[in-house]
Amino acid sequence: MKLAPIDYFILALYFVFVLGIGWRLRKKISTSGDFLLSGHAVPVWITSLAFIAANLGAQELIGMSASGAKYGIMTAHFYWIGAIPAILFMGIFMMPFYYGSKARSVPEYLKMRFDEKTRAFNAFTFAVMTIFSSGISMYALGLLLHLVLGWDFSTSVICSAAIVLIYTFLGGLTSAIYNEVLQFLLIVAGFSPLAILSISKAGGWQGIAARVKPEWVHAWKYLGSASANPMGVEVFGMVAGLGFVLSFGYWCTNFLVVQRAMAARDMSSARRTPLIGAFPKMFIPFIVILPGIAALALSKMGLGYDLPLKPEGGVDYNQVITTLMGKFYPAGILGVGLTGLMASFMSGMAGNVTAFNTVWTYDIYQSYIKPGAPDRHYLNVGRATTVVGVLLSIGAAYAATRYNNIMDLLQLVFGFVNAPLFATFLLGMFWKRATASGAFTGLITGTLTAALTWSLTVAEGKGGVLGVMHEFPSVMAQNFWIAILAWTSCFVVTIAVSLMTRPRPAKELEGLVYGLTKIGGDPGAKWYQRPAPLAVVISIVVILLNIWFA
């Protein structure tokens, strides 16, 4: 694929705008709160789109279209039973405690609710995880641009990281959030024409259904047993593992996304942020997953489109979206499409960097390294951390090129740490009897259970280092079941240990736990500005989508 001068011009225009937004916002920063928390001053439509965009990294776009071709419409479960219910839960039930507690970060909430050790565990693992995930997505982008356009890996990695660094350094979280909105709009502009063109070329949904195996066009019909569908997952693993544990764990406890809602002006806006974000989120499968399935159909039509291959043989699903662009986009819109891909990478990376910043500055530096300094000092630390965070991510991207196995191992370990987390938050927010020792013991037990489950089961040759008690039909099924077991053990152990330890006085838990917190209504708010009616509308639409593609 070759770009015309006009495509480079569009890319350059986009760079000018993101840097310009950062430059315009630079003057607003006078405290560490302005830099790291946006001073709670961002309008709700902006926090909502940023909430979705921070998660819509390049890996998501590339990965979801890849899964579309590989597994079909079942991939949409990541949205329709995964993300959406979790986002609704977060907006309705959890945001009151995050925002109402006045915590500046998710780990800080854990400190207020439980104690220092739970916070430290969460803050350290989260900080390391954000650096690695931004490094890994940088690596994925550099590799793709090299394969597709022949761009030099180092140039594309360092240039795009430098731009993210400049605008987050200048305007902090506000700049990251404002740019995420522009990036989100650009992603939609760059990807939706591709969806329309590729799907209509493949003969619409009917045409696609006639050309691919039926398992690829039904999200629910073949979930009865793991062997009946390409993902190798059965309905319980899907609903409980992906839908409940993993998605709620991600959307409700990951500071990367929670931070966007926390930046809202007031409680009502903070609660509406995830809910309004859920609307565009529901339809993202149409621009990322459906083109992947269309690609599979097109490859069977003899039109000259073939699924991309790896040099060593086998289909390279990660190149599906870019090869489609090459076949469907002429110069001009091709520039928009590739700029959209760059934008998605930047929004994901800026999301990681700004979340890392806050957790490092407030939860690690201010708590354990140098407490009690004047705010000016923490502002400078926040700025310095931006630079360090970007440099560390670049380092992680290069590490990924050399030590792919170490990266796989790290991702696996993060999975173990994350799986039980939602049980801790659920009990912390809704059961006032949960104690600090209970939470910490539960988290550690859950993490160990995850590691142990992986070590004792095998799927596609992965895991089973301590012996094989069970074989899963796919790595995905294994991940879902690890999550289910980790969550359950964390839940049970937290309750058991809590009942054996002394409860905290109710007075100390005000604003942190359900039943001890006043959740103010919104007098004067119209129905569409209130969380519950919004959630009902979203639920109806998402149920219809599930039925439509069942």
Which positions lie near another protein, rule CB under 8 A?
Answer: 6, 9-10, 13-14, 17, 20-21, 24-25, 28, 41-43, 46, 174, 178, 181-182, 185-186, 189, 193, 197, 201, 298, 303-305, 326-334, 336
Nearer to another protein, 188 or 541 (CB): 188
Nearer to another protein, 153 or 184 (CB): 184
Nearer to another protein, 14 or 317 (CB): 14
Nearer to another protein, 82 or 351 (CB): 351
As measured in angstroms, the least distance from the Cβ of 334 to another protein is: 8
As measured in angstroms, the least distance from the Cβ of 298 to another protein is: 8
Cα separation, 354 vs 427, whole angstroms: 28
Nearer to another protein, 351 or 446 (CB): 351
The count of residues in the chain is 550
How far apart, in Å, are the Cα atoms of 194 and each of 32, 184, 191, 211, 518?
A: 42, 16, 5, 19, 48
Which one-letter DSSP state was computed for residue 504?
Answer: P
CB 81 within 8 A of CB 238: yes
As measured in angstroms, the least distance from the Cβ of 442 to another protein is: 42
Helices 255-262 and 106-113 cross at an angle (nearest 10°) of 90
Environment class of residue 300 by beta-carbon count within 10 Å: exposed (0-12), middle (13-18) or buried (19+)? middle
Nearer to another protein, 182 or 458 (CB): 182
Nearer to another protein, 22 or 274 (CB): 22
As measured in angstroms, the least distance from the Cβ of 320 to another protein is: 14
Nearer to another protein, 73 or 181 (CB): 181
Helices (H), 39-115: 44-53, 58-71, 77, 84-89, 95-100, 106-113
Nearer to another protein, 193 or 511 (CB): 193
β-pairing verdict for 457-459 and 470-472: parallel
How far apart, in Å, are the Cα atoms of 152 and each of 112, 148, 183, 348, 508?
A: 47, 11, 23, 21, 56
Cα separation, 344 vs 250, whole angstroms: 19
If DSSP states are collapsed to H, E and C, what string results for 206-246?
A: HHHHHHCCHHHCCCCCCCCCHHHCCCCCCHHHHHHHHHHHH
How many CB atoms sit inside 10 A of residue 494's CB?
Answer: 28
Half-sphere exposure of 242 (CA within 13 A, CB side): 23
Write the DSSP assignment of 144-183 as a string of letters.
HHHHHH---HHHHHHHHHHHHHHHHHHHHHHHHHHHHHHH
Nearer to another protein, 25 or 450 (CB): 25
As measured in angstroms, the least distance from the Cβ of 400 to another protein is: 32
Cα separation, 531 vs 534, whole angstroms: 5
Can you say how many angstroms the Cα of residue 328 is from the centroid of all Cα atoms in its chain? 29
As measured in angstroms, the least distance from the Cβ of 182 to another protein is: 5
As measured in angstroms, the least distance from the Cβ of 58 to another protein is: 20
Can you say how many angstroms the Cα of residue 256 is from the centroid of all Cα atoms in its chain? 8
As measured in angstroms, the least distance from the Cβ of 263 to another protein is: 12
CB 221 within 8 A of CB 455: no
As measured in angstroms, the least distance from the Cβ of 190 to another protein is: 9
Nearer to another protein, 148 or 459 (CB): 148
CB 54 within 8 A of CB 348: yes
Cα separation, 267 vs 522, whole angstroms: 9
What is the three-class DSSP state of 496? helix
As measured in angstroms, the least distance from the Cβ of 479 to another protein is: 36
As measured in angstroms, the least distance from the Cβ of 195 to another protein is: 12
As measured in angstroms, the least distance from the Cβ of 304 to another protein is: 6
Nearer to another protein, 182 or 490 (CB): 182
